[in-house]
Structure formats: structure tokens, C-alpha cells
């Protein structure tokens, strides 16, 4: 029986290369792909793959936020993070979300197939450059580093990312199927909770907390 896989990565050439690699395996079927976070959520929930492979640096909704949504809305779907980031904040956040695999793009061709098989069999896979001991240390320090980020909800982090990417309230309302008034309320709450005076403060926060990439 084939392992059904969904791949979300905004780098078209890499995504297409990985699809070709995966499709060469007799027991792996790529049933869908996406280039942004919102598209990934919509398609993953519709297609119900066995495994969702998510790049962290997805536009509109980053891969860790996609993972958080999937853990709530479709916990049966296993998640592998595929990223260039060895940053401890990323690893700790992924670990807290209980993702099933964390693969570095440097090693993607060698490790992705292996990770898919291990995760499908019920195991946890960490890229060879990241040991479980190191991850445990990241998690121990995560709350200290992430206290301020923890003040806002998942929906608010989603809106922070969209604002920091330059979207207007109207754009965000359309993307999230919300009213402009609701978006403005969220925006005001975010600014109040985090003590921001202007959008520049918000963008800097998004960069420092790895919600967007500079």
C-alpha cells in the first residue's frame, strides 16, 4: 500500500525535484503540493495524506503554524518539517508541536526517503545534524526565549505574519475569510499585547521571532 505524501515548499525547482525523487519510489505517492501556507492547509485537509512535508519558510502562513493547525484539525496526519534552519528556536518549536520528523534541506535527498519510512512506521526522525540531546536542551531554554511570543495566539501569529509581509487589513480579511473589522480588532489586540507603537515594531518582532525571514 502506497504512502500518500503532500509537499509544501515555496521554492518551485526544489519542490518539483523532490516530487520527482519521491515518485520514483514504488510505495510513495505524492498526492498534492503547495507553495504557501494557506494553500497547504486547505489542500492537506481536503486530500488527507499520510504524511505532510512542510517547509518552515512558507509565505502567508509559515510551516510551523501550518503544523500547529494540522495537529489540532487533523492529528492523524504525520508531519515532517523540511528546512534549511538549524536555529534552536525553530527546532524547539517543532519539538513542542510534536512533529514526527525534522529534515535539513542540506541532507534532503539522502534523508527524506528514510524519514518518510521511519515516520510512517510510527517512529520519530531527526536529521543527522540534530541530536535528541541537543533538542532537549533547546526545549529547556525555549520558554525563556519565547515568553513574549507566547503572549499571542496562533491566529494572531498568523495575522502578524501577513501584516509583516506587507498585506493590508483588506487583503488579510480576504485571505482569512474574516471581516475587515475583525482583522482590525486582532491587529489592535496584537499591538496592545506586545506594546508596539507602529508597524515597524511589528515587522522587527516578526523577524526576531522567526515568523518571517528577513
Tens digit of pLDDT for each residue in 102-133? 888 887 777 899 899 999 998 888 887 775 54
Would you identify the CATH topology of the domain 149-208? Arc Repressor Mutant, subunit A (1.10.10)
Q: Which ranges of the chain have pLDDT less than 50?
A: 133, 144-145
pTM higher than 0.75 for the full model?
no
What is the rounded distance in angstroms from the CA atom of residue 96 to the CA atom of residue 69? 13
CB 94 within 8 A of CB 63: no
The domain spans of the chain are 3-144, 149-208
Of 110, 99, 124, 113, residue with least CA distance to 27:
113
State residue 69's pLDDT score: 92
Burial class, 183, CB count within 10 angstroms (exposed 0-12 / middle 13-18 / buried 19+): buried
What is the rounded distance in angstroms from the CA atom of residue 91 to the CA atom of residue 102? 8
CATH of 3-144, one of 2.60.120.560, 3.40.50.300, 2.30.30.180, 3.40.50.2300: 3.40.50.2300
Amino acid at each position: 500500500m502506497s504512502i500518500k505524501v503532500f509537499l509544501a515548499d515555496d521554492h518551485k525547482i526544489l519542490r518539483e525535484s523532490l516530487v520527482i525523487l519521491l515518485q520514483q519510489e514504488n510505495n510513495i505517492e505524492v498526492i498534492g503540493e503547495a507553495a504557501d501556507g494557506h494553500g497547504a492547509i486547505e489542500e492537506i485537509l481536503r486530500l488527507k495524506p499520510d504524511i505532510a512535508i512542510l517547509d518552515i519558510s512558507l509565505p502567508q502562513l509559515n510551516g510551523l503554524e501550518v503544523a500547529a493547525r494540522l495537529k489540532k484539525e487533523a492529528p492523524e496526519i504525520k508531519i515532517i518539517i523540511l528546512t534549511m534552519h538549524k536555529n534552536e528556536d525553530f527546532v524547539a518549536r517543532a519539538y513542542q508541536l510534536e512533529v514526527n520528523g525534522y529534515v535539513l534541506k542540506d541532507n534532503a535527498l539522502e534523508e527524506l526517503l528514510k524519514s518518510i519510512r521511519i515516520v510512517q512506521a510510527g517512529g520519530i526522525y531527526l536529521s543527522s545534524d540534530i541530536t535528541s540531546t541537543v533538542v532537549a536542551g533547546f526545549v529547556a531554554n525555549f520558554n525563556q526565549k519565547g515568553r513574549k511570543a507566547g503572549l499571542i495566539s496562533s491566529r494572531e501569529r498568523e495575522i502578524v505574519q501577513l501584516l509583516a509581509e506587507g498585506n493590508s487589513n483588506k487583503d488579510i480579511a480576504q485571505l482569512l475569510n474574516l471581516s475587515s473589522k475583525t482583522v482590525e480588532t486582532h491587529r489592535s489586540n496584537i499591538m496592545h499585547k506586545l506594546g508596539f507603537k507602529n508597524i515597524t515594531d511589528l515587522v522587527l518582532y516578526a523577524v526576531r521571532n522567526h515568523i518571517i525571514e528577513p
